[in-house]
């Protein structure tokens, strides 16, 4: 009796039915797994930023480090406060350097970061600030940590090299909270392992109006892990709704 036919290996071509899109998606998922973005095991949803920005995963991943390059300290702090308020839990705000500019709870509360959840830290030394950030990120009871350098200080003395940012990223993965780095904007930001990098600048709202109006920012996603960069977008903070709204694209094109 002849032996039953052995199952043969599939031919070395794409089987019909798997199109390029599916393949790409599978590859992306695999890269994401390799990069560790899938290590979210904490079961918490990503933190939403704004409708219609096309973020991979629908928002900022927790258990990861994100960078915000701000042209002005005010808009950067407000954007960060909005994200940290949405993290839903205890937040540590670490200020480095001299105590000239401090996070101001009544203002941060406008963006959803309530004083009950906020703990302020002040580290005179940059190395102490990094240490505090790492320790805090490693703690599972902390929902978010922000590190802001001395805005008027020497940027070289407050640099964050690749090793340091990797340490912070690993700490965030261990603890599960979100880590934010709020830094002054620079032309050529040094490389880092942050899961996303944003650039934010304050903008004057289009159109005339009485008074100072709602805060309006120009937001740009410089890079994100597992996704494409995007923007710039013009967004406006709506205090009543407690969220930022993206201007229509036509208006954006006009203002750009």
Using CB under 8 A as the criterion, which residues of the chain lie in contact with other proteins when the complex forms?
A: 71-75, 77-79, 81, 89-90, 94, 99-111, 114-124, 128-129, 131-132, 135-136, 139-142, 201-204, 209, 211-213, 215, 218, 237, 239
Smaller CB separation from other proteins, 37 or 142: 142
Closest distance to other proteins from the beta carbon of 12 (Å):
53
The token pair that represents 147 in the structure block? 């590190």
Residues 237, 107: contact at Cβ < 8 Å?
Answer: no
Give the span between the Cα atoms of 46 and 41, in whole angstroms.
12
Closest distance to other proteins from the beta carbon of 15 (Å):
49
Closest distance to other proteins from the beta carbon of 187 (Å):
16
Residue 10 DSSP class: P
Give the span between the Cα atoms of 219 and 200, in whole angstroms.
5
Which residue in the block uniquely carries the two structure tokens 């959803």? 112
Closest distance to other proteins from the beta carbon of 129 (Å):
7
Give the span between the Cα atoms of 173 and 123, in whole angstroms.
23
Smaller CB separation from other proteins, 25 or 141: 141
Smaller CB separation from other proteins, 104 or 166: 104
Residues 174, 138: contact at Cβ < 8 Å?
Answer: yes
Q: Give 113's Cβ-side CA count (13 Å radius).
A: 27
Closest distance to other proteins from the beta carbon of 237 (Å):
7
Closest distance to other proteins from the beta carbon of 123 (Å):
4
Which residue in the block uniquely carries the two structure tokens 């407690």? 242
Give the span between the Cα atoms of 94 and 119, in whole angstroms.
9
Smaller CB separation from other proteins, 82 or 193: 82
Smaller CB separation from other proteins, 67 or 134: 134
Smaller CB separation from other proteins, 27 or 98: 98
What phi, psi does 63 have (nearest 5°)?
Answer: 55, 35
């Amino acid at each position: 009796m002849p032996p039953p036919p052995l199952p043969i290996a599939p031919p070395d071509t794409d089987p019909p039915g798997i199109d390029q899109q599916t393949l790409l998606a599978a590859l992306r998922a695999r890269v994401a797994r390799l990069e560790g973005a899938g290590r979210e095991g904490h079961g918490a949803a990503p933190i939403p930023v704004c409708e219609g920005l096309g973020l991979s995963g629908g928002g900022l991943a927790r258990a990861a480090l994100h960078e915000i390059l701000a042209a002005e300290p005010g808009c950067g702090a407000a954007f960060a406060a909005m994200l940290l308020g949405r993290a839903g839990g205890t937040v540590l705000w670490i200020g480095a350097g001299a105590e000239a500019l401090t996070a101001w709870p009544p203002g941060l509360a406008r963006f959803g970061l309530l004083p009950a959840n906020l703990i302020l830290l002040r580290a005179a030394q940059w190395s102490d600030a990094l240490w505090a950030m790492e320790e805090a990120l490693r703690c599972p009871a902390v929902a978010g940590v922000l590190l802001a350098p001395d805005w008027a200080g020497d940027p070289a003395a407050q640099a964050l090299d690749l090793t340091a940012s990797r340490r912070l990223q690993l700490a965030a993965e261990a603890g599960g909270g979100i880590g934010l780095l709020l830094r002054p904007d620079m032309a050529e930001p040094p490389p880092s392992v942050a899961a996303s990098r944003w650039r934010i600048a304050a903008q004057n709202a289009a159109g005339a109006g009485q008074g100072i109006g709602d805060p309006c920012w120009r937001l740009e996603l410089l890079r994100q892990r597992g996704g494409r960069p995007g923007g710039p977008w013009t967004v406006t903070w709506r205090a009543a709704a407690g969220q930022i709204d993206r201007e229509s694209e036509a208006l954006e094109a006009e203002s750009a």
